Chain A
Amino acid sequence: GQNIDQPTEMTATEGAIVQINCTYQTSGFNGLFWYQQHAGEAPTFLSYNVLDGLEEKGRFSSFLSRSKGYSYLLLKELQMKDSASYLCAVLDSNYQLIWGAGTKLIIKP
């Protein structure tokens, strides 16, 4: 079966750095997405990785290791508005997105 695992919830302090991990087992791989979803809102795109390595975009970075079936999302200089759920999703061999359950990130002052 296909499976994507991420921690259910994480807590971090404003101004700090947090790393949200995602491991996956899917039938094929055509890329990995990270989305941010605030409570009651639609997901919004953060990043897309298809090759190994680190992609940096402002305060957010995403890393991929295809051999390990592993990715992480790194958030720096945390702000209160970063409190949200972060969803990891993998595009499988049929080009269907398989989603993790999301990691709820709580930012404390």
Chain B
Amino acid sequence: DAGVTQSPTHLIKTRGQHVTLRCSPISGHKSVSWYQQVLGQGPQFIFQYYEKEERGRGNFPDRFSARQFPNYSSELNVNALLLGDSALYLCASSSEDDSIGELFFGEGSRLTVL
């Protein structure tokens, strides 16, 4: 079975641009979470979706948005990119809706903002 897949794996953008990151969860998993990990730090929670509904939102500005599709895949959108948005964006899926279940992470999308 395929694990969590994310695309693109690497991308470079300039300040002010917009980016869309995509995530496909493990088959059968209905919960998807997004995290931002800056080099040398732990992941920071951005969003969680379960059954296409937002279940949690971290302390990120409104420039960050996400959605989950009927097939449980998800997109993370970031508008008006800032240099500080440069990070590894991790998607994690689980079979549970309350995050008690084990999280399975994708390899991440590494975003560089110039």
Which A residues have a C-beta under 8 Å from some C-beta of B? 4, 30-31, 33, 41-45, 48, 87, 89, 91, 94-102
Contact = CB atoms under 8 A, between A and B. Distances in A.
Interface of B: 33, 35, 40-45, 48, 55-56, 58, 90, 98-100, 102-108
Q: What secondary structure prevails in chain B residues at the interface with A? A: loop
Contact of A89 (B40, B42, B56, B90): B42
A31 B108 contact: no
A99 B105 contact: no
Contact of A45 (B41, B43, B104, B106): B104
Nearest to B57: A96
A43 B88 CA distance: 12
A87 B42 contact: yes
Given A94-B56, A95-B56, A102 B42 contact: yes
Contacts of A102: 41-42
A99 B44 contact: yes
